[in-house]
Structure 1
């Protein structure tokens, strides 16, 4: 239980301070679990990121679930999700209950400081991962090619395609690394359990729409809509918005104005963007706001939990194969390219609004990379600096 408590405390701190969206979250996770606590090696972390990029759902939350599962079993997985998700979920619920009076417009100095800090966090993560995963001309070439694919053909499909092509290039052109035995066998999930989790995922995806059509129950309809949103979205983050809009605004359950107001608030809170579901669930007619928020939140994240439990054991087995490790080396280099592309757009393009915000980002980067200040302290400091200077 001590390990479970440790997982919860670390992820709660991340849930309180991880601004900047899913790519920035991966930077925060790397700083916390690879560099600072050494729960994972760089290669093991890159493997988890590559797996979660393949899976539908919120990639950063899935990486967090996988880290919690490896560290402290199923309770650790639950602790990681609750800790990382709870702060933003409560804030979004509060906004739905009347916090619109806060009047977040997106151009407040403290929020601009947070966006600038996200630039520093992601830049630090890209450089750190490139130093181990994109070393040498071939791996660097794969990383640059992945960056080009994602920037020139922007879509969730192009992200998956970049990793697939990177894995194929690694299989054909790279040599296999020595397996990282310290990370092997770190997943306490049996294959039978994994197969059952994948079967439950598929069964719910098929049966919930049928049940919702046959039974006129608002709670069941809520579960169906948000479960499908969490199951069918590759890329996570902002990509889920069209599906959520179709399930709420398109069904006449939430007004377009309320939807946009909640989306604006979601940009100003830490943690995963999927907690936008907590706001929408609270607005559902025929539901208690608190119950609707909780149901929507659980329904949209349940597919991710089932897929992580179902996919991680098989992924871990592949890591021991020489051919698989060549492919994973290529996929890891492609992940560096994906993060570098995201560093430019949207992190840099949205986070650097002028000379002053660039100075804040530069100070934050030096604090992370040179002064070794913890990421959460850098975030708080950048927010305070933004409040004064931006």
Structure 2
């Protein structure tokens, strides 16, 4: 590579870092809002992608398990500046949130603030935030009685059969049901995405994703090292989440709380404060890792929960132009999305509702926050501040 090409490549990478870092500092509001920020910056301002290519990339990332907004950013960075560009795009978008949540974890560990009123207020904030997510996702992903039924049955099974494997089974069954009920065909022409990733490298990434997913539980049993247990728990959580950041809550809760690694109080407090910072909701894992293992735990948790997203995006991008036109794939995804709503509904009841709504005043505060968030369209950081103040008042 001659000097001019190296200069252009370095310039592209630095540009990706700057733009993604700016988005990481300013993107409040969760995955759907993040995609709006991305569209404004990458499509309208920078013109790195056209409208159809952006829509196609979003569709790919919604199909994959993992944090959709982070995966879209990785995809755009890869298209713009190659594999390193994809990593840089993730780094810039994610690190501001990681740093803020790790600092909060040290505050939680260094001071006895677990029972103060504002912490209880953050738990109530989580009620309003997740209720909004269920409302929005339910309207979009369960618009008919078949999908509503899938969602309610999934919620019921999740509440009764509370194991990690239950959600894997539910997702598999939902894919099968969707395959049978929703094989929708479309004649819409789609623009082919130009991806600087070979199919060979894509297959290697997919194989590596599966090898790590299968191999980590084996290594965990052999080594009995705590860092390996953490890596396995967070990697598996990042690998099995369909539907965005909110849905990782029940998976992480079952990995962290029953094992005693994180108390339920610290878990919900952290989830509440995660809504106040910009960037992906998956950085909640950074907080949990820091609570359990300090800086080293935060690094392990962050790397492990996002690694599946990177491997899956790089692995599937070269094949997406073929996959997205397959009606069977679309049908399976329809069933999975309905189950996602059910899993989130179950998490809304337990542990969020049961741990936060203890008195009538708690319910009143949650209702006020929900109205401010959904109908008055106030940004999440305002809701977090209002919830913390309200928690002090109702305690």
TM-score (norm 2): 0.68
How far apart are the structure 2 equivalents of 1:28 and 1:163?
23
Deviations 1:47-103 (A, max 9, x none): 746632xxxxxx5xx4453132134331222223323322222333x35xxx74410
Per the alignment, residue 128 of structure 1 pairs with 136
1:319 aligns with 2:321: no
Q: What displacement does 1:147 show?
A: 1.6
1:104 equivalent in structure 2: 113
Q: How does 1:74-89 map to 2 (within 5 A)?
A: 74=86, 75-89=88-102
CA distance in 2, matches of 1:80, 1:141: 37
Gap change, CA 1:165 and 1:373, over 3 Å in 2: same
Once residues 127 and 35 of structure 1 are traced to their aligned partners in structure 2, the CA distance between those partners, rounded to angstroms, is: 21
| Distance (Å, rounded) in 1 between the aligned partners of 2:230 and 2:191 | 34
Instruction: Identify unmatched segments of 5+ residues in structure 1.
Output: 18-26, 53-58, 215-220, 246-255, 283-289
Alpha-carbon distance change, 388 to 187 in structure 1, aligned in 2, over 3 angstroms: farther
Listed as ranges, the gaps of 5+ residues in structure 2 are 1-13, 44-50, 79-85, 241-247, 275-282
**Which residue does the alignment assign to 1:115?**
123
Provide the C-alpha distance between the structure 2 equivalents of 1:182 and 1:351, rounded to a whole number of angstroms.
Answer: 46
Which of residues 357, 363, 366 in structure 1 aligns to 2:368? 363
Question: Offset at 1:193?
Answer: 2.9
The structure-2 alpha-carbon separation of the partners of 1:351 and 1:224, relative to structure 1 and needing over 3 Å to count, comes to closer
Matched length: 336
Q: Which moved more, 1:225-234 or 1:41-50?
A: 41-50
| Aligned twin of 1:345 | 350
Identify the residue that residue 250 of structure 1 maps to in structure 2: none
* Root mean square deviation of aligned Cα: 4.1
TM-score after normalising by structure 1: 0.69
- Which residue of the partner structure matches residue 286 of structure 1? none
Question: Do the aligned partners of 2:118 and 2:391 also contact (CA within 8 Å) in 1?
Answer: yes
Judging changes above 3 Å, is the alpha-carbon distance between structure 1 residues 10 and 168 closer, same or farther for their aligned structure 2 residues?
Answer: same
Q: Distance in 2 between matches of 1:329 and 1:32?
A: 22
Matched with 2:202 is: 194
Q: Is the 8 A contact 1:222 1:295 kept in 2?
A: no
2-structure distance, mates of 1:204, 1:116: 37
